[in-house]
Every structure is written in structure tokens, then in C-alpha cells.
């Protein structure tokens, strides 16, 4: 792992397939997470499934940062939890260092958790309000027998706090006494406390103020270098993901639609959804904003309980074709496009034709999707009601 | 609506902000007084103008007072426990002195508002159609029968497909983006001259956000409605606003025309914000330059610059005297030691 | 949360500033550089304040809580020291010779006997004072048993989930479907001989499903919370997750409910005694039982009923005030 501890490995060129090399730390194969929808008066009957994650293959190599990006409801958080087996996968395997995590249970799984840690979105909610920072940080160490010598444990606590840039006085304090960014630092220190190899960070900065986000992003980069960590960063903010990741996977409705090195994805986005996503991200520069061509998607995200047939994106795709798109589900493949790196994989039947300009975009009429509340639905609190305003 | 829509957003050569201000906010102060607690001044003397057809941005982080400012303008702050002072001049009327009844007549008719969360802003047990026609009945005096086709056209106008069917839908049956469109339809029902949008896209996904922003831009250009855009997202501001006000700790710290402000941010806070956000178009591998600390490190404005403890280039006077907001060539700046040169 | 404009904090920062500004002199920029915060921001040197501690500091200044606590404390002290305080023996018929069954069954107030005596010539004032002890025992014990029962069932249901949850909750639903007083009557009536303990068991039975449901609900909310997920991800043992994270964070609504239940248990006990299902031995005075005995003289001598009723009301009020202000203090939403 010595050569990869910098966390900035460049993808090796020349391979035609996905990374199957020995360098792979996490190998996810065909993972599916389906949530049953149950209804019933006395006995619950399963009347359908929410296909939150529906067949994802991905490999994360030692020391790299893999970014998973997608909009709410695409299943990226569920995928992250399935990789940790916090959400038991319906099918598929997650091989971590040669062990299939997806099939582990009970005490074996609990011990294995030492190697994979998680950083959460909501820094307040993910810290037990009744625990002091000291007890928060010691808990995982005790659970894995790392705190048997109290003097050594104490030294380790100080080391952890130093790594995340907090003073030792923080130890006796409680989560509610910190600011949002400081709490996220505690969350990162907790993840580091058990010496993990992989950290899954689920929207690590989206709950923080703009001016604080950069602190946490830099901190994540620093501790990656210091402790030789591998990251899976899950976020909806493409700019954040691109900044922090070496490789990026784009998710849409439970599946990967494109995977590429971070620079390649920005330089040559191939999947129509990736293109739309890229063009929708606002850039804080009026000159760019005035010039840019936006691909505005119409309609809503289809419900994950009733995904479209064929390509999941065909209902909203401006490049949709009469054949194949609505009948045949595209596989993630290396496209035959000149100048595209072998590490870039796309799940679109018409990648080559779109890239060469043979197929052009056409208008799509909007379609309203009836809402079924899925597990990924998030409700936000608002300030007031419209009736109050009028 | 078409799927491919180039939106070059080239503003007309005539500055849309020309002429007399439509809304003129002067020295707006809002103090929260909670029982058993020290009073907390959330907005500490905010002044800005909005001219007809102009889009003005209020940008800042949570706790900077941007939302409280908008609620104070709309008269939506609870009377109990809040003290609002200053003037909010709308076409010669100080809105702060109006009675509740007069203010209700103004709201929805002359000034409308769009909130962050469309679900909690809509009445969950009333169909969308009724919620639109209600406004039309109340402010434009239409009958229910006459209002229905108008409501239908409004939904169509904001890009809701199949508007006849959607009139009968309840808010929970629509997606977040569609709800926000419905909310914009309600806000626009009476052709207000001023629209205040408080983080209208924060709860939405980025592709839906792009749709809503394109819609707002289009509506502002077509109807000549002035827009006050409140957001924390500098990217949203960059593409939409004519004039940008940067708020920090309840006061405006910098103001300018958007091209100038983004090209040459002079306040260390604005400068720092722009340097700290990762950009999709920036070369990778560069380290972000964060602003240290958080808003809880602020100093009180009364004796200092609130931003001084987090500032990259503080001088001694920053911790002793509050900088005044100084106007110069259409730019305003509240700083003792501004950033020089281009970004 | 650390209020950014907390006045004390503000003052302290200003003092710090004044100090640095004063000493800075010519090297002003150096002093200012010291002032700027580190990347993570400022953290006060003081030791941390736990949630319990901050709730207590709010309660201490809450007049409602203080009144409730005063009443409750006075009641508890009275119950403990009642034999010392009571001027007379509550069981001795000291005024028995004043009782005239036909003309004047109830001896009125007189020097040394401020509230007069009952139909057996026993001093009412002393009986009220000594009665506080039985009332307290019934109220507290019934709540305690109900609490323990509810805690066990609620923890089982909330921690294990699945079919255990379903079974426990159906049992609880059946118990809740029976009107509470009726359930208490049934339990009390099953006992061969009514006594103080039948009352306690009867009232505790009524409270069990309420506590169980409350605890299970908040345990379920905790189970879905991020910090429990974080503990799972950390590899904390399942038992530790339940007892160290889920249970302690679920307790505050249950504890609030307990203080409110003490009040209703006292009232329910009075109701059972009033209906003759309580302790029949009137040598151990109890307010509910005194109220019951006063029934036959209610038209001519209402004072006989008013005094114990007033005692019950005041004590119940004390517990309720305490519970309500506790609820407010422990509510995370009210915290600023």
C-alpha cells in the first residue's frame, strides 16, 4: 500500500476492461437492494419493491477516492450502506480484502466493521447527544479491543483530535457545544479511531455552511494522506465529488450509467444523463453562466418502485432512439470512442453515435410521475406556509 | 417546454435596473426577543434597492440574516417577540407601517414570495387548482368559474405538463420540482411587480434546479417582475442576478453588479467564499482555500468587524471599529482592508 | 448549541480583544494575527456541559418547576415525618364522646382540633397528615411498578423488533382498549381481599401499556437515527447499542410521563378507595379512603370531603407542574 498512500493514483492507461487487478480493495459485484412495499390490514402483503439499487458493479482500488454522484432517489446512499452491510443486500457480493462482507453476519460482521468506517451527512444527528467527545471516540476503540491500555488510549485520543484539528479541551465537551464543521471533525475522528482501511463518506459536507465545506474537504484529503485511507465519497454535488475523487461513478435510478476518471468525466462526459448533470451545475462565474449551453431535462425522476423498461433514462433522454432504448437494458461497457480512456465505462447503446454527432438531441415532452414515497425521500422543513403568505 | 434550451441569458443592453426603485429598504433591523434570553439582532441595518425588472441577489450563509430580511419585508415575522425597525418603501408606502389587513392585500397581489420547501408551503389537503384559484378570487376578484381557466393557463405557463389533470392533484402527488412550479404559479397568479424567492432551489436536485432557474429567468424577462433572489449558492447568483448583495452576520458587507463582483471581489469574505468552493471547471489537484472557523467565531459588529477573526488579512482597526458600508462607482464595501487586484 | 451571540461569550471575546489591542502597540498586526481563529474555529476552554446539566440549569430558573418541586418536596417530607408532625394519634377516638349519631355525627372544629373529627371521633387534621404517607406510597409504588413493566415491554419491543414487537404491541393494544379505570377495577376486584397492594397493582397494570407504547415509539425513532447507525457502523456490540444509545436517549419522554403518572395514580387510588376497592382498614388513613368515607355526610358536612380532596388536588398539581416543566426542559426543540 506504500505507493498508493498519497491517494492520488492515476488510472493506468491501456486496459480495455474494468480494473480487475490485484490492487482492488473493494470489489462490488451485481449488488442489489430491493425494499419490499408492504400493505395489508392484518397481515402485511408485499405488493411491490422499491428497486433502490438494482445491479451495480464497481471496484475501488487501494488508496484511491471513488466518488459516487447522483440525484436524490438514485440509490447512492443505499449503495453505500449496502457496501458496509448496514443495509443487507438482496443479491450480489462485496469482496473487501478477500472477504465477502455481504455474506457476513453477527460477530464476524461486527469485527469486520473495524476496517470500514462511515462519515455521515448530518454531523449533529450522527453523534449521540448524551456522549462526551471522549466517550464517543473511545467507544469504537473499546468495541474492537483497542483501548485496553488507558495511557495508550489517551495518547491515541490526543492524536486523533490533533489529526482533525481540534484542541484537547474538546474531549470533555458534548456535541451540542460545537459548530457544524467542528462536529463533522468529531465524526471523522470517530471513523479514524478504529484504524479503518476504507471510509465511506455519505454527503460529508452537504449539511455544512459553504465557508466550512472547504475545511472538511481539505481535512478529508489530509487524513487520507496521513493514514493511507481509501475513500468512497457519496454526494449530489458534482463539483465537490470531482474535486475530491480520483474516479467517479454516476448513478441514475439504482444503477451506474457512467464511470470515469474525474478529469475524463468532466472533459468528455459520454452518457446523456452525465451531460445533462454537468450542464446543470451552476458555476460561480457570470461569464461562464452567460455562455453555457444547458441541457435541461424535462419531467420527473421515474419512481424506483416502477422503473422504466430498457434503459432507465430513456423516458427523459434527449438522444433517445426508436430501437433498443426502451427494450434493452444497456450494460456498463468501454465505448469505442476515439480519445476516450479505457477506464471510462458507459451504459448507453448509442454512445459512439452520440459522441460522433451522428445522433442529435431532440425535444422530449415532459411527463409527470405519480409519486410513491420511497425510502430515499427526504422532506425539508420550510419557513412558512403559502396561506400565511397570501 | 423543450428539452434542449440554450440559455445564454444575455441581458438587454439597457440596464434593467434603471429608473426609480420599486422597493427601497433602508436601515432594516430585526431583533428577536425571547423570554429569559438576551435580545438577538438578526438583521442589523440592511439597506438596498430593487428597481422594476431587476434581479437582486442576497447571498450569505445560514445565520447571515438573509431569510429574516425577506420575511421582514413581507411582514411575515410573528409580531410577538420580534422588533422590526427601519423602512421598507414600496412605491412610496412604508410596508412596515401598514396594518395586518393592508399588508395581506399587498401580499400576493403586489409582492409575492416563493419559499424553499414547496411541500410545507402548500396546503396538503387542498388540490393545487383550488390553491391557485383562491388567490385569483381573493386578489383579482374573479369567480371560481372564471378563475379555473386562468389557473390552468398559469400551470401551463410554469411548465407543468397536463395542467387540466394537475389542477385536481394534491401537493403530495407531485414531485418536488413540480411542487415548486405550482408554488411559482401561485406566486405569479396576480402578476406581482415584485417576487421574493427564498432559497427556491435548495431542496431540489441539480437538474431540477436548472429547470426552475431557467423558468424564473424566463418569467422575469417576460413579465418584467422584479426578483429578489435569496440563496447561499454563489453559482445560482452568478447566473441569475443583476446586482448582488453579500451578507455577513446581519449586515451587507459587499454589493456590486454581478460581473464586477465575481471578477473582483473586494471583501475578504466574498473573496474567501469564492476561493473555498470547488468549481466544476477548475483544474483539479488544487487545494481549496477554506475560510477558517465558523459564524460562531464572529465578533459583535458594534465594536469590530464581525468577520475579523476569520479574515485572511485583518489589521488592528478591524477589531476596534466597525467598518461602514462605503459606496463607490455602484460598488459598496464594508471593509477596513479590502482585497486588491483581480481574482 | 453555542449561541454565536451568547452575551457572556461576547463579553469574554471583547475583553480578550481589549487586552490584545492594549498590549499590541506598534506590533498591532501580530496581535491581530493571534486573534484570528484556527481552521476549526474557536472552542471555549471550559469543560463541557452535558444535556442533563443544561436542562437542570434551565429548570433551576423556571418558576413553574420550582413551585411544583416545592409542593412535591413538602408532600414527601410531610409523608416521612408525619407521625412526628401530627398533633394527635390518628387512630384514637379522642372526641368519641362528642359524637351524637342522631343530632351531630361529626364533631366540629375546636381548639386543638382545627378541622374537627370524623364520625369515630378521630382528629381529621392528624389523619390528613398521616394519610399523606399512604397516598405517597400508593402513588409512587404504582408508578414505579408501571414504569418497570412498561420499560421491560417497551425495551423488548423496541430493541428486538420483528415478531417480538408485534406480539408485545398487540398485548399492549388489548390492554389499552379497556378503559383504564375499568381495568383497574377488574384487577382490584380479582384480589380476594382488597388491600393497599391490590390498589398499587391495579393502578400499575393500567400504566404498563402507556409506558410500553411511549418507550417503544421513541426506541423505534432512535433505532432509525443516524447516531445508532453510526454505532452499528463502528462495530459496537448490539447490547451496548440498546443500553448505551437507544434506551438512554428514549427515556426523557418516559420520565416526564412518570411524573405525570404519579399525579394520576394518586387520583386513581383515591377513586378505587372511594368505591370501596381500596384498603378497608381505616386505621391506616389514606386521602382517597377518607374522601370515600365522607360521602355519607357530604350534604351536612362538606368540609369532611373538601379537605382530603384539596390535599389530593394540590399534590397532583405539584407533580403535574413538575412534569410539564421537565418536558419543556428536556425537549430538544426548546433548546437554543
Closest CA to A197 of A82, A116, A94, A298: A116
In terms of phi and psi (left: phi > 0; alpha: psi -120 to 50; beta: otherwise), the region of B287 is beta
Closest CA to C67 of C327, C329, C330, C321: C321
Length of chain A: 390
- pLDDT < 50 positions in chain A: 1-19, 372-390
Residue C150 banded pLDDT, cuts 50, 70, 90: very high
Residue C19 banded pLDDT, cuts 50, 70, 90: very low
Query: Max Cα separation, chain C?
Result: 102
Length of chain B: 343
Q: Considering only A63-72, C90-99, C132-141, C227-236, which range has the smallest mean pLDDT?
A: C90-99
Q: Are B197 and B229 in contact (CB under 8 A)?
A: yes
Residue C45 has pLDDT above 50, yes or no: yes
Q: A295 at the B interface (CB within 8 A)? A: yes
Please name the residue of chain A whose CA is at the shortest distance from the CA of residue C335. A176
Residue C38 has pLDDT above 70, yes or no: no
CATH numbers and ranges of domains, chain C = 7-39 (no CATH), 51-334 (1.10.3720.10)
Residue C43 has pLDDT above 80, yes or no: no
**CB atoms A139 and C234 under 8 Å:** yes
- Mean pLDDT (whole number) for C186-190: 80
Position B10 scores a pLDDT of 41
Position C37 scores a pLDDT of 63
- Mean pLDDT (whole number) for B263-288: 88
Query: Which residues are B313's β-sheet partners?
Result: none
Task: List CB contacts of B260: < 8 A, sequence separation 6 or more.
Answer: B330, B331
**Local structure of residue A271 (DSSP, 8 states):** S
**CB atoms A384 and B121 under 8 Å:** yes
Position B343 scores a pLDDT of 57
ipTM confidence score: 0.85
Buried b (16+ CB within 10 A) or exposed e, B58-84: bbbbebbbbbbbbbbbbbebeeeebeb
Task: List CB contacts of C162: < 8 A, sequence separation 6 or more.
Answer: none
CA gap B28, B92 in Å, rounded: 16
Q: A382 at the B interface (CB within 8 A)? A: yes
State what percent of residues in chain B have pLDDT above 70: 93
Q: Are A189 and A131 in contact (CB under 8 A)?
A: no
State what percent of residues in chain B have pLDDT above 90: 29
Q: Considering only B272-281, C15-24, C192-201, which range has the smallest mean pLDDT?
A: C15-24
Task: List CB contacts of B268: < 8 A, sequence separation 6 or more.
Answer: B307, B311, B312, B313, B335, B337, B338, B339
Q: Are A224 and A65 in contact (CB under 8 A)?
A: yes
Whole-Å CA distances, B40 to B65, B76, B83, B84: 11, 18, 10, 12
CA gap A146, A113 in Å, rounded: 14
Position A324 scores a pLDDT of 86
CA gap B212, A384 in Å, rounded: 20
Q: Which residue in B37, B296, B319 is closest to C32 by CB distance?
A: B319
**CB atoms A284 and B237 under 8 Å:** yes
Query: Which residues are B245's β-sheet partners?
Result: B58, B255
The 3-class SS string of chain B reads CCCECCCCCCCCCCCCCCCCCCEEEEEEEEEECCCCCCCEEEEEEEEEEECCCCEEEEECCCCCCHHHHHHHHHCCCCCCCEEEEEEEEECCEEHHHCCHHHHHHHECCCEEEECCCHHHHCCCCCCHHHHHHHHHHHHHCCCHHHHHHHHHHHHHHCCCCCHHHHCCCCHHHCCHHHHHHHHHHHHHCCCCCEEEEECCCCCCCHHHHHHHHHHHHHHHHHHCCEEEEEECCHHHHHHHCCEEEEEECCEEEEEEEHHHHHHCCCCHHHHHHHHHCCCCCCCCCCCCCCCCCCHHHCCCCCCCCCCHHHCCCCCHHHHCCCCCCEEECCEEECCCCCCCCCC
State what percent of residues in chain C have pLDDT above 90: 9
Q: B296 at the A interface (CB within 8 A)? A: yes
Chains with 3 or more CB pairs under 8 A to chain A: B, C
Position C29 scores a pLDDT of 36
Position A115 scores a pLDDT of 93
Position A371 scores a pLDDT of 54
Query: Which residues are A67's β-sheet partners?
Result: A233, A248
Radius of gyration of chain C (CA): 28
Position B59 scores a pLDDT of 94
Q: Are A352 and A337 in contact (CB under 8 A)?
A: yes
Position A45 scores a pLDDT of 79
Position A40 scores a pLDDT of 67
Position A368 scores a pLDDT of 58
Cβ neighbour number for residue C217 with a 10 Å cutoff: 16
**Hey, which residues 301-360 in chain A have their CB within 8 Å of chain B?**
301, 316, 318
**CB atoms A218 and B162 under 8 Å:** no
Task: List CB contacts of A169: < 8 A, sequence separation 6 or more.
Answer: C43, C44, C45, C47
pLDDT tens-digit readout, A207-239: 898 888 999 999 999 999 999 999 999 999 899
- pLDDT, chain B, mean: 86
pLDDT tens-digit readout, B142-165: 888 888 998 998 888 888 888 888
* Helix C247-274, helix C124-160: angle, nearest 10: 140
Residue B86 banded pLDDT, cuts 50, 70, 90: very high
More confident of the two residues B83 and A42: B83
Query: Max Cα separation, chain B?
Result: 68
Query: Which residues are B94's β-sheet partners?
Result: B89
pLDDT tens-digit readout, B183-218: 888 888 888 899 999 998 888 888 888 888 988 898
Position C105 scores a pLDDT of 67
Identify the three-state secondary structure at position A54: strand
Residue C334 has pLDDT above 70, yes or no: no
Q: Are B314 and C35 in contact (CB under 8 A)?
A: yes
Identify the three-state secondary structure at position C211: helix
**CB atoms B4 and A370 under 8 Å:** no
**Long-range Cβ contacts of C298-306 (<8 Å, 24+ apart):** C300/C106, C301/C105, C301/C106, C303/C115, C303/C116, C304/C106, C304/C118, C304/C124
Residue B141 banded pLDDT, cuts 50, 70, 90: confident
Whole-Å CA distances, A353 to A270, A332, A336, A362: 10, 16, 10, 14
The burial of B316, by beta-carbon neighbours within 10 Å (0-12 exposed, 13-18 middle, 19 or more buried), is given as buried
Show residues of chain A in contact with B282, CB under 8 Å.
Answer: 243
**CB atoms B4 and A296 under 8 Å:** yes
Position A383 scores a pLDDT of 30
More confident of the two residues C27 and C214: C214
Closest CA to C140 of C251, C253, C259: C259
β-pairing, B93-94 with B82-90?
Answer: antiparallel
Position A21 scores a pLDDT of 55
pLDDT tens-digit readout, B235-265: 999 989 999 999 999 999 999 999 999 999 9
Position C9 scores a pLDDT of 43
**CB atoms C41 and B290 under 8 Å:** no
Position A388 scores a pLDDT of 32
Residue C74 cell numbers, joined: 413538602
Q: Which residue in C39, C48, C248 is closest to A172 by CB distance?
A: C48
Query: Max Cα separation, chain A?
Result: 69
Q: Are A280 and A292 in contact (CB under 8 A)?
A: no
Q: Which helix (H) or strand (E) holds A235?
A: strand A230-235
Position C290 scores a pLDDT of 82
The burial of A365, by beta-carbon neighbours within 10 Å (0-12 exposed, 13-18 middle, 19 or more buried), is given as exposed
Residue C15 banded pLDDT, cuts 50, 70, 90: very low
Show residues of chain A in contact with B294, CB under 8 Å.
Answer: 179-182, 209, 211-212
**CB atoms C36 and B316 under 8 Å:** no
Residue B102 has pLDDT above 70, yes or no: yes
Whole-Å CA distances, C177 to A3, A335, C171, C182, C267: 68, 65, 10, 11, 21
Closest CA to B186 of B242, B272, B94, B123: B123
Q: What is the pTM of this model?
A: 0.82
**Local structure of residue A2 (DSSP, 8 states):** G
Position B253 scores a pLDDT of 94
β-pairing, B82-90 with B55-59?
Answer: unpaired
Whole-Å CA distances, C70 to A284, C75, C318: 61, 8, 8
Position A247 scores a pLDDT of 94
pLDDT tens-digit readout, B11-57: 443 445 457 889 999 999 999 887 767 888 899 999 999 999 899 99
β-pairing, B55-59 with B243-248?
Answer: parallel
Q: Which residue in A72, A213, A382 is closest to B121 by CB distance?
A: A382
Position B13 scores a pLDDT of 38
Amino acid at each position: 500500500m506504500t505507493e498508493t498512500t498519497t491517494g492520488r493514483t492515476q488510472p493506468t492507461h491501456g486496459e480495455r476492461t474494468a480494473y480487475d487487478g490485484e490492487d482492488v480493495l473493494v470489489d462490488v459485484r451485481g449488488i442489489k437492494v430491493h425494499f419490499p412495499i408492504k400493505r395489508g390490514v392484518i397481515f402485511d402483503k408485499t405488493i411491490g419493491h422499491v428497486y433502490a439499487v438494482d445491479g451495480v458493479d464497481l471496484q475501488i482500488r487501494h488508496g484511491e477516492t471513488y466518488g459516487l454522484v447522483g440525484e436524490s432517489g438514485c440509490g447512492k446512499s443505499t449503495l453505500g450502506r449496502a457496501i458496509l452491510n448496514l443495509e443487507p443486500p438482496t443479491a450480489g457480493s462485496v469482496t473487501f480484502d478477500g472477504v465477502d462482507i455481504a455474506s457476513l453476519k453477527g460477530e464476524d460482521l461486527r469485527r469486520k466493521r473495524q476496517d470500514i468506517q462511515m462519515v455521515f451527512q448530518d454531523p449533529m444527528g450522527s453523534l449521540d447527544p448524551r456522549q462526551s467527545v471522549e466517550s464517543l471516540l473511545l467507544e469504537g476503540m473499546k468495541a474492537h479491543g483497542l483501548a485496553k491500555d488507558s495511557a495508550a488510549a489517551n495518547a491515541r485520543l490526543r492524536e486523533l483530535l490533533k489529526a482533525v484539528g481540534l484542541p484537547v479541551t474538546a474531549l470533555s465537551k458534548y456535541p451540542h457545544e460545537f459548530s457544524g464543521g467542528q462536529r463533522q471533525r468529531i465524526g471523522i475522528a470517530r471513523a479514524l479511531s478504529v484504524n479503518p482501511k476504507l471510509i465511506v463518506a455519505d454527503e460529508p459536507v452537504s449539511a455544512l455552511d459553504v465557508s466550512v465545506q472547504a475545511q472538511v474537504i481539505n481535512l478529508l484529503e489530509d487524513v487520507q494522506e496521513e493514514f493511507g485511507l481509501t475513500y468512497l465519497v457519496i454526494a449530489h454535488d458534482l463539483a465537490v465529488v470531482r474535486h475530491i475523487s480520483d474516479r467517479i461513478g454516476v448513478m441514475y435510478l439504482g444503477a451506474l450509467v457512467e464511470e470515469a476518471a474525474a478529469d475524463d468525466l468532466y472533459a468528455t462526459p459520454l452518457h446523456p444523463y452525465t451531460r445533462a448533470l454537468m450542464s446543470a451545475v451552476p458555476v460561480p462565474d457570470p461569464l461562464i453562466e452567460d455562455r453555457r449551453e444547458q441541457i435541461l431535462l424535462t419531467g420527473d425522476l421515474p419512481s424506483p418502485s416502477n422503473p422504466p423498461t430498457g434503459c432507465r433514462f430513456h423516458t427523459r433522454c434527449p438522444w433517445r432512439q426508436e430501437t433498443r432504448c426502451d427494450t434493452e437494458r444497456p450494460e456498463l461497457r468501454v465505448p469505442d470512442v476515439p480519445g476516450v480512456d479505457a477506464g471510462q465505462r458507459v451504459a448507453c447503446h448509442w454512445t459512439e453515435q452520440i459522441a460522433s454527432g451522428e445522433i442529435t438531441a431532440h425535444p422530449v415532452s415532459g411527463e409527470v410521475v405519480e409519486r410513491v414515497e420511497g425510502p430515499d425521500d427526504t422532506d425539508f422543513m420550510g419557513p412558512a406556509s403559502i396561506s400565511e403568505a397570501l | 417546454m423543450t428539452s434542449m434550451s440554450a440559455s445564454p441569458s444575455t441581458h438587454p443592453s439597457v440596464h434593467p435596473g434603471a429608473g426609480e426603485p420599486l422597493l427601497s429598504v433602508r436601515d432594516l433591523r430585526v431583533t428577536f426577543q425571547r423570554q429569559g434570553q438576551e435580545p438577538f439582532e438578526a438583521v442589523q441595518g440592511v439597506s438596498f434597492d430593487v428597481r422594476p425588472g431587476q434581479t437582486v441577489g442576497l447571498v450569505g450563509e445560514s445565520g447571515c440574516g438573509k431569510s429574516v430580511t425577506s420575511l421582514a419585508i413581507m411582514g411575515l415575522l410573528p409580531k410577538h417577540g420580534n422588533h422590526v425597525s427601519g423602512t421598507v418603501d414600496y412605491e412610496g408606502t412604508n410596508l412596515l407601517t401598514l396594518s395586518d389587513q393592508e399588508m395581506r392585500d399587498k401580499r400576493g397581489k403586489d409582492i409575492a414570495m416563493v419559499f424553499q420547501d414547496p411541500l410545507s408551503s402548500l396546503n396538503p389537503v387542498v388540490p393545487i387548482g383550488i390553491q391557485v384559484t383562491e388567490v385569483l378570487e381573493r386578489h383579482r376578484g374573479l369567480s371560481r368559474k372564471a378563475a379555473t381557466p386562468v389557473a390552468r393557463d398559469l400551470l401551463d405557463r410554469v411548465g407543468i405538463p397536463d395542467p387540466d389533470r394537475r389542477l385536481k392533484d394534491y401537493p403530495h402527488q407531485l414531485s418536488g420540482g413540480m411542487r415548486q412550479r405550482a408554488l411559482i404559479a401561485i406566486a405569479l397568479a396576480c402578476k406581482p411587480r415584485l417576487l421574493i424567492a427564498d432559497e427556491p432551489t435548495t431542496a431540489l436536485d441539480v437538474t431540477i434546479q436548472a429547470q426552475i432557474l431557467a423558468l424564473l429567468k424566463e418569467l422575469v424577462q417576460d413579465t418584467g417582475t422584479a426578483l429578489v433572489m435569496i440563496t447561499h449558492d454563489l453559482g445560482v447568483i452568478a447566473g441569475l442576478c443583476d446586482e448582488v448583495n453579500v451578507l455577513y452576520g446581519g449586515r451587507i458587507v459587499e454589493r456590486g453588479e454581478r460581473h464586477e463582483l465575481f471578477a473582483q471581489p473586494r471583501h475578504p469574505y466574498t473573496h474567501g467564499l469564492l476561493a473555498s468552493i470547488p468549481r466544476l471547471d477548475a483544474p483539479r489537484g488544487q487545494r481549496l482555500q477554506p475560510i477558517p472557523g465558523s459564524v460562531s467565531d464572529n465578533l459583535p459588529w458594534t465594536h469590530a468587524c464581525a468577520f475579523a477573526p476569520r479574515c485572511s488579512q485583518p489589521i488592528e482597526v478591524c477589531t476596534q471599529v466597525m467598518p461602514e458600508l462605503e459606496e463607490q462607482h455602484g460598488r459598496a464595501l464594508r471593509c477596513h482592508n479590502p482585497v486588491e487586484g483581480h481574482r | 448549541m453555542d449561541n454565536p451571540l451568547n452575551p457572556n461569550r461576547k463579553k469574554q471575546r471583547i475583553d480578550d480583544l481589549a487586552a490584545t489591542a492594549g498590549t499590541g502597540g506598534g506590533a498591532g498586526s501580530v496581535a491581530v494575527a493571534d486573534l484570528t481563529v484556527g481552521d476549526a474555529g474557536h472552542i471555549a476552554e471550559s469543560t463541557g456541559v452535558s444535556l442533563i446539566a443544561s436542562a437542570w440549569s434551565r429548570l433551576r430558573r423556571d418558576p413553574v418547576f420550582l413551585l411544583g418541586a416545592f409542593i412535591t418536596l413538602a408532600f414527601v417530607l410531610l409523608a416521612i415525618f408525619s407521625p412526628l408532625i401530627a398533633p394527635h394519634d390518628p387512630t384514637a377516638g379522642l372526641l368519641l364522646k362528642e359524637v351524637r349519631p342522631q343530632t351531630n355525627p361529626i364533631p366540629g372544629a375546636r381548639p386543638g382540633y382545627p378541622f374537627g373529627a370524623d364520625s369515630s371521633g378521630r382528629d381529621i387534621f392528624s389523619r390528613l397528615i398521616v394519610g399523606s404517607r399512604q397516598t405517597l406510597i400508593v402513588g409512587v409504588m404504582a408508578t414505579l411498578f408501571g414504569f418497570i413493566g412498561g420499560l421491560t415491554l417497551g425495551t423488548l419491543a423496541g430493541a428486538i423488533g420483528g415478531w417480538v414487537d408485534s406480539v408485545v404491541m398487540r398485548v399492549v393494544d388489548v390492554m389499552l382498549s379497556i378503559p383504564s379505570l375499568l381495568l383497574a377495577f377488574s384487577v382490584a376486584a380479582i384480589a380476594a381481599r382488597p388491600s393497599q397492594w391490590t390498589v398499587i397493582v391495579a393502578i400499575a397494570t393500567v400504566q404498563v401499556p402507556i409506558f410500553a407504547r411511549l418507550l417503544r415509539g421513541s426506541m423505534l425513532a432512535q433505532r432509525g437515527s443516524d447516531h445508532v447507525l453510526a454505532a452499528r457502523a463502528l462495530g459496537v456490540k448490539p447490547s451496548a447499542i440498546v443500553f448505551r444509545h437507544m434506551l438512554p436517549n428514549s427515556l426523557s419522554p418516559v420520565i416526564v410521563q412518570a411524573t405525570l403518572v404519579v399525579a394520576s395514580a394518586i387520583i386513581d387510588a383515591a377513586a378505587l378507595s372511594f368505591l370501596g376497592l381500596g384498603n378497608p382498614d381505616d386505621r391506616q388513613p389514606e386521602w382517597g379512603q377518607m374522601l370515600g368515607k365522607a360521602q355519607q355526610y357530604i350534604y351536612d358536612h362538606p368540609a369532611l370531603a373538601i379537605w382530603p380532596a384539596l390535599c389530593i388536588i394540590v399534590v397532583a398539581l405539584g407533580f403535574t407542574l413538575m412534569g410539564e416543566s421537565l418536558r419543556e426542559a428536556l425537549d430538544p426543540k426548546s433548546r437554543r
